[in-house]
Amino acid sequence: MTYTEAGMTMTGHGADTPMEVFNAGTTDLDELAIFVVDANRPFSSPASLD
């Protein structure tokens, strides 16, 4: 896991690595996420509803 303090930035993980963002603090989370993706590949894998 990577932790970032309020007001700081961080870079994401490398290609093909899932990422989850959550707020472990006591205030509301304001987040801006930008993804650079390969247009020739799917953005995510299909959901399984089993």
pLDDT in 10s for each residue of the chain, 50 residues: 778 888 888 887 777 787 777 888 888 888 788 878 888 988 777 888 87
Instruction: Quote the pLDDT of residue 1.
Output: 74
**Residue 27 has which token pair?**
């205030």
Q: Please give the pLDDT value at position 26.
A: 86
DSSP state of 20: -
Give the pLDDT score at 28. Answer: 85
Residue 34: count of CB within 10 angstroms of its CB: 5
Q: How many CA atoms lie within 13 A of 32 on its CB side?
A: 3
Q: For the CA atoms of 16, 9, 5, 22, what is the dihedral angle to 10 degrees?
A: -40
